[in-house]
Each structure stands twice: as structure tokens, then as C-alpha cells.
Structure 1
Amino acid sequence: LEYQPSDTPLYVWGDRQRIGQVLLNILENARRYTSVNSTIFIRVRQEDMYGVVEIKDTGPGIPKEDVPYVMERLYRVEKS
């Protein structure tokens, strides 16, 4: 895991538990689909008035035809 924090403190308006759960879900998926000797990169930065969290891994990614559906509740790319 490689982490690059923001150069300046970021303040976010939102539900702390929900934001934490979203980040945990994304990181768990990155861990699950990234090979053992690979790195997961996390970068936090400010862009205009927004806080941006970038997470990159070397997993297979999401097929283009599934991208429109990934935010639907309980949607899974892997159907098994």
C-alpha cells in the first residue's frame, strides 16, 4: 500500500461513517483483485473546492459495458 496525503488539510462535509465505508469497500475490492506482489496507490488531494481521493491498483478493472451499473445497489460485475 502506497499513500500520498494532501499537502494541505482537507475538510469534508459528509457522514463520516458512510464515507469511511465507501473507502473501505473500494480498498477491499482493490486488495481482492490485485495480485500479491503488486501495489495499491492512494492519493488524497484538493482540486478547486473539492477533496479528491484516487485509488489505483493493477487489478483487471471493470468491463466498459458494466461501468454504467456499478453504482446500482448490490450490482456485481462478477455474477457468481
Structure 2
Amino acid sequence: MFFSKKLKILDVEVQELEDEKIYRCLLKDKKRNIIDKEPIEISGKELKYLAEMQGQRYGMIRYNNEHFYEVIGEKEKAPN
């Protein structure tokens, strides 16, 4: 079951993420320090699974005991 806590930056709940959209995330440690400055791209469906398996904390989705994904936005589509 999903938690009712919202994702910090997007201000939406995890279940509100769209499965087919690609979201940009920053990888952070327990102290909320950015580990990799280059955003990671993950689908909404994968983020939902992670949140269900690992949970949330600090408005971020837990990746493992030490790391968290902070969802910072959607991937912009390339202009045609």
C-alpha cells in the first residue's frame, strides 16, 4: 500500500505519478546530500514499485537503506 506522504518537490502523492511518463530524479544519501549531480531518468511505474517495496522518507522514495530518489520533475520531450 502506498503512503499518503507527498513527494517533496512535485507536491504529488506517489500513486498520482503516471506509469508511462519518465521522471527525473536525484540520488541522495541519508543526510540529503546529492550523490550524483546528473539526474537519473525513471518511469513512473518503476517509482511506484520502489515506493511500495522500500517506502518513503523525507518526501523522497527510498532506494535502499542508504539512498533515496528525490523526484525533481518530468523528462521534457524533444521538439519535433
- For the aligned pair, the TM-score class normalised by the smaller chain equals under 0.3
Name the TM-score, length of structure 1 as normaliser: 0.24
TM-score normalised by structure 2 residue count: 0.24
Higher Cα radius of gyration: 1
Bigger share in strand: 2
| Higher percent of residues as helix | 1
